[in-house]
Chains A and B, each alone.
Chain A
Amino acid sequence: MSIKIEQLSFYYGQGTPFETKALVDITMEIKRGDFVGIIGQTGSGKSTLIQHFNGLILPEAGTVYIDGTNIKDKKVKLKLIRQKVGLVFQYPEYQLFEETVFKDVAYGPINLALDELEVERRVKYALELVGFDYSSVKDKSPFDLSGGQKRRVAIAGVLAMKPDYLVLDEPTAGLDPSGRNKLLNTIKKLHENNITIILVSHSMEDIARLADYIYVMYQGRIHMQGTPHEIYKDSEELKRIGLGVPQVVDIMKALKARGMNVDTDKLTIEGATEEILRVLRSKKDA
């Protein structure tokens, strides 16, 4: 059970003078239960890649399998693939359109021709999963909510389809720090509820905190892949290709450069605090 991509390539404007390679020979497998981060500069191919995950773009060269099904197979119902793989676009709150939160989240399930009771069950499930109190929010207009709340309603709309895989494209862009923290905790909770998460972001802090495995995209290719620790070890390379590293990584490297014998492999503030204390205290004991 996985999203499996084999030798996928994609060109925009093929055959014209403006032909651009968007994806080149991508091979990857995201298994059920994974929490995967995809990072890369604007234009590195991230968004083109994730649109292949649920058949919004069908592969021109290469193959995409969702739970073993080749999505280009003529017998495949793309509707079912899209139920399985939910895609949350950038700024999803722009897609809200109904009069009430309930109606907006119910839009997908109603289109699946589910009965009324099941629709309500799913709306409640989805809204609670993203941290809302169902009865107090369901009759509100989505347009009266704050930016962060709107975004969570939009995500609930995708969750109401009960996807096994959830792909989020820059989910925290434009949110303030507390909105960002709340949303990241929500995403963590979704993962604990057995939803496979694919998080696309250029926020290094977010990815370092949450993902188990990272793909770094550069010029349409998978440039690096590994655990967050493996990826952030090579901070110079990340910077060269236009990405940052969490500030903590730079702090630990700067301490090391000044002769402090710290392990630079720390990605969070908590980890860095402990490591610096360990070195300072061992020096004192010596």
Chain B
Amino acid sequence: MDPIIKISNVSFQYSQEEKNALNGVSLDIQPGEFVAILGHNGSGKSTLAKLINSLLLPTEGEIIVKGMNTKNDDMLWNIRQTAGMVFQNPDNQLVATIVEEDVAFGPENQGVDPVEIRKRVDDSLKAVDMYEYRKRPPHLLSGGQKQRIAIAGVLAMNSECIILDEPTAMLDPSGRKEVLQTIKKLNHDENKTVLLITHFMDEAVQADRVIVMDGGKIQMEGTPKEVFVNIDLIKKFGLDVPQVTELAHNLINEGIMMPRDIIKIEELVDAICQ
């Protein structure tokens, strides 16, 4: 299968900066994949997301989204429709005064037929479990609910790929859970490709593949197990591992035998209580 996003040797420099924000990044994302991108602030994660969405253009190299080069101006709206973005602050991305109108904003701008819009809005709101809130004003919703509305807005565009840039950073634990469950459901049931930028290791653990960025480069890549087993390296990049991984590591250092790549609570419990 062709990758839905193909990033080839991409570098990017912001105009006032001396250093490149990205340095020769290559990455293929397959349709239906759930990829988490980790990295400290300033490591280049958000720049990468904006490049995929054609909000920025590569200084060197190229990005192909479903066969379309992000440098091709004529394809701009098709690219953004294929790969929709959800940002960190839920209050900065909802535009309408009623939930369903907000979700309809994208398809309306595309000139989609009104009957089809109605169907897409309803389907999208059902997919994020917010259908019963369709008549509410967004500002009365919780942070987690607002982010789910933002995700519904992307779904209503029939996007195949959803790029989320720290969507849970401003949410409380239950809001974070809601959003992550929604993301996983869309990935699993609707086969949406998901690119999740996050600082929360417990979210990254649930992805198919984890990418670690530092200094504008991809430094680590693999399944969550393959990545989090390298605790020292992860910490060197200013990141953390899940508490359960660190605990397992401490026990191994004290001479207790168990696998080194524990990332879930059940795995640790099984290893100790066999």
A7 within 8 A of B: no
Known: A146-B42, A176-B238. A255 touches B269 (CB 8 A): yes
Task: Enumerate B236-258 residues with CB–CB distance to A below 8 Å.
Answer: 238-240, 242-244, 246-247, 250-251, 254, 256
A276 within 8 A of B: yes
Q: Which of the segments A49-57, A191-199, A242-250 contacts the partner chain?
A: A242-250
Chain B residues with CB below 8 A from A259, complex form: 273
User: Is the pair A273, B172 in contact by a Cβ cutoff of 8 Å?
Assistant: no
Once bound together, how far apart are the Cα atoms of A272 and B246, in whole Å?
Answer: 11
User: Is the pair A178, B251 in contact by a Cβ cutoff of 8 Å?
Assistant: no
Chain A residues with CB below 8 A from B40, complex form: 176-179
Task: Enumerate B218-247 residues with CB–CB distance to A below 8 Å.
Answer: 238-240, 242-244, 246-247
Chain A residues with CB below 8 A from B166, complex form: 174
User: Is the pair A177, B269 in contact by a Cβ cutoff of 8 Å?
Assistant: no
A42 within 8 A of B: yes
User: Is the pair A177, B238 in contact by a Cβ cutoff of 8 Å?
Assistant: yes
Chain B residues with CB below 8 A from A177, complex form: 40, 199, 201, 238-240
CB distance from B240 to the nearest CB of A (A): 4
User: Is the pair A251, B238 in contact by a Cβ cutoff of 8 Å?
Assistant: no
Once bound together, how far apart are the Cα atoms of A168 and B131, in whole Å?
Answer: 36
Known: A248-B247, A255-B273, A260-B273. A277 touches B41 (CB 8 A): no
Chain B residues with CB below 8 A from A258, complex form: 269, 273
* Interface SS majority for chain A: helix
Once bound together, how far apart are the Cα atoms of A272 and B42, in whole Å?
Answer: 33
User: Is the pair B41, A242 in contact by a Cβ cutoff of 8 Å?
Assistant: no
Task: Enumerate A248-266 residues with CB–CB distance to B below 8 Å.
Answer: 248, 250-251, 254-255, 258-260
User: Is the pair A204, B173 in contact by a Cβ cutoff of 8 Å?
Assistant: yes
B75 within 8 A of A: no
Give the residue of A179, A247, A273 whose beta carbon is less than 8 angstroms from that of B242: A247
Question: Which residue of B is nearest A273, CB measured?
Answer: B250
Chain A residues with CB below 8 A from B199, complex form: 174-177
User: Is the pair B42, A280 in contact by a Cβ cutoff of 8 Å?
Assistant: no
User: Is the pair B174, A250 in contact by a Cβ cutoff of 8 Å?
Assistant: no
A112 within 8 A of B: no
Once bound together, how far apart are the Cα atoms of A247 and B273, in whole Å?
Answer: 18
Task: Enumerate A170-189 residues with CB–CB distance to B below 8 Å.
Answer: 173-179
CB distance from B143 to the nearest CB of A (A): 5
User: Is the pair B268, A273 in contact by a Cβ cutoff of 8 Å?
Assistant: no
Since A243-B172, A269-B247, A277-B251 are in contact, a sample of 15 more A-B pairs with Cβ atoms closer than 8 Å, ordered by chain A residue number, is A42-B172, A42-B175, A174-B170, A175-B41, A178-B239, A179-B41, A242-B174, A248-B243, A250-B265, A251-B244, A254-B265, A260-B273, A269-B250, A273-B251, A273-B254
Top 7 nearest A-B pairs (CB, nearest first) are A178-B238, A242-B174, A244-B173, A247-B243, A177-B240, A176-B40, A273-B250
23 example contacts (A-B, Cβ-Cβ < 8 A) are as follows A41-B173, A42-B171, A42-B175, A146-B42, A173-B169, A174-B169, A174-B199, A175-B41, A176-B199, A178-B238, A179-B40, A202-B172, A202-B173, A242-B172, A242-B174, A247-B202, A247-B242, A255-B273, A260-B272, A270-B250, A276-B256, A276-B272, A277-B254
